[in-house]
């Protein structure tokens, strides 16, 4: 029988721990403020931004909201980011992606002060992760490490395979698993004989962005499978990059979609915000 890794429950535990930590910090006169910028009104982005603001309110972090029109120029957005960089009251700056096409996302991300880049996307933070020094780490992979640790999954010495090499998920995931002493292989669209590689995985992280691509034929019996994908099917139901029905019986533990990785991303954003004023806010 396999274990379902409950991201809803674990993310709630983390939020409770952070809430307590924030209350203690407040007593010491330390407050935290996250500035959230949204350009345009993409409905999915509005839902994400709303959830992030709700999480801030829950754990006691102040949030400032900047809702800019779709036609905002790159210059206008950069000026806002620079103003927030210089504002001592703001600890974290989050620019909700994707941005409208007239704006260069990379330029915006690199303009956020690294010490306020709570998404962990700035080159300086990515570099810090690479060389093992202090910095913000991308929230989704950071959350996956928490899911594994809090579910009692040992990473050290295990064969870890990550499918996907995006800057937001795949690459930082590989670096984090390496930091935890896993033996890490990364697969991508040019990988040959991928099944041969994934079938060696004790821990398989799937961030491929293709609904139900990974089924039981990719999985070693008893592996731990983490599904990062989120897709809404024609039936309006959510599914992941893993075919849960086929894969789950062959795993020892697996994350569901929804209720697996998704809720962890916001919890770890909150973690990054709290760590702007306090080191290692949760175990």
Q: Which of 37, 261, 269, 273 touches ligand NAP by CB under 6 A?
A: 261
Contacts of 9 (CB under 8 A, 6+ apart): none
- Site map 127..156 versus ligand NAP, x via CB under 6 A: -------------x----------------
Find the binder of ligand NAP among 5, 177, 187, 270 (CB under 6 A): 187
Which residue, 225 or 261, is less far from ligand NAP as judged by CB? 261
* Cα-Cα-Cα-Cα dihedral sign, residues 151, 155, 161, 163: positive
Select from 56, 153, 163, 205 the one that contacts ligand NAP (CB under 6 A): 163
Instruction: Tell me how far apart the terminal alpha carbons of the chain are, to the nearest angstrom.
Output: 29
Q: Can you give the length of the chain in residues?
A: 283
Of residues 26, 188, 195, 232, which one binds ligand NAP by CB under 6 A? 188
Q: Which stretch binds ligand NAP (CB under 6 A): 37-45, 61-69, 73-81, 228-236?
A: 228-236
Rank residues 105 and 115 by Cβ distance to ligand NAP and give the closer one.
Answer: 105
Name the burial class of residue 214, with classes exposed (0-12), middle (13-18) and buried (19+) by CB atoms within 10 angstroms of its CB. Answer: buried
Q: Is 96 a catalytic residue?
A: yes
User: Could you tell me the smallest distance in angstroms from the CB atom of residue 97 to ligand NAP?
Assistant: 10
Cα R_g (the chain), whole angstroms: 19
Among residues 21, 116, 117, 119, the one annotated as catalytic is 119
Task: Report whether 124 contacts 135 (CB < 8 A).
Answer: yes
- Tell me the C-alpha distance between 11 and 45, whole Å: 20
SS (H, E, C) 26-48: HHCCCCCEEEEEEECCCHHHHHH
For ligand NAP, the closer CB: 191 or 252:
191
Residues 201-220 that bind ligand NAP (CB under 6 A): 207-210
Determine contact, residues 276/91, Cβ cutoff 8 Å: yes
Pick the stretch among 10-18, 101-109, 165-173, 217-225 that binds ligand NAP (CB under 6 A): 165-173
Closest approach, Cβ 230 to ligand NAP, in A, equals: 5
- DSSP code for 137: -
CB of 103 to ligand NAP, least distance (A): 18
DSSP letters spanning 233-277: -TTS-EE-SB-HHHHGGGEEEE--SSSSSHHHHHHHHHHHHHTTT
Is residue 168 close enough to count as binding ligand NAP by CB under 6 A?
Answer: yes
SS3 state of residue 10:
helix
Span from 84-92, 109-117, 144-152, 188-196 in contact with ligand NAP (CB under 6 A): 188-196
82-90, 162-170, 175-183, 246-254 -> range binding ligand NAP (CB under 6 A): 162-170
Q: How far is the CB of 105 from ligand NAP (least distance, A)?
A: 12
Alpha carbons 201 and 232: distance in angstroms, whole number: 27
Write out the catalytic residue numbers.
52, 96, 119
Chain residues that interact with ligand NAP, rule: CB under 6 A = 140, 163-166, 168-170, 187-191, 194, 207-210, 228-230, 241, 261-262, 265
């Amino acid at each position: 029988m396999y274990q379902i890794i409950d991201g809803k429950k674990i993310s709630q535990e983390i939020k409770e721990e952070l809430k307590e930590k924030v209350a203690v910090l407040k007593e010491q006169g330390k407050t935290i403020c996250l500035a959230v910028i949204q350009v345009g009104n993409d409905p999915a982005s509005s839902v994400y931004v709303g959830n992030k603001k709700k999480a801030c309110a829950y754990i006691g972090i102040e949030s400032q909201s900047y809702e800019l029109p779709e036609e905002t120029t790159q210059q206008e957005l950069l000026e806002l980011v620079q103003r927030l960089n210089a504002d001592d009251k703001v600890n974290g700056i989050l620019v909700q992606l994707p941005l409208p096409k007239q704006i260069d996302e990379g330029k915006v991300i690199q303009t956020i002060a690294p010490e306020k880049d709570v998404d962990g996307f700035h080159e300086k933070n990515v570099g810090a992760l690479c060389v093992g020094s202090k910095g913000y780490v991308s929230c989704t992979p950071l959350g996956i490490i928490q899911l594994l640790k809090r579910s009692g999954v040992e990473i050290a010495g295990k064969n870890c395979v990550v499918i996907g090499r995006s800057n937001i998920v795949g690459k930082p995931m590989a670096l984090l698993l390496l930091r935890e002493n896993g033996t890490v292989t990364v697969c991508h669209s040019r990988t040959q004989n991928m099944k041969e590689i994934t079938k060696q995985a004790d821990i398989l992280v799937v961030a491929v962005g293709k609904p139900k691509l990974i089924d039981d034929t990719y999985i070693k019996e008893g592996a731990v499978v983490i599904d990062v994908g989120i897709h809404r099917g024609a039936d309006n139901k959510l599914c992941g990059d893993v075919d849960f029905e086929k894969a789950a019986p062959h795993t020892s533990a697996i994350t569901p979609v929804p209720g697996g990785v998704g809720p962890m991303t916001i919890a770890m954003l909150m973690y990054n915000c709290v760590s702007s004023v306090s080191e290692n806010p949760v175990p």
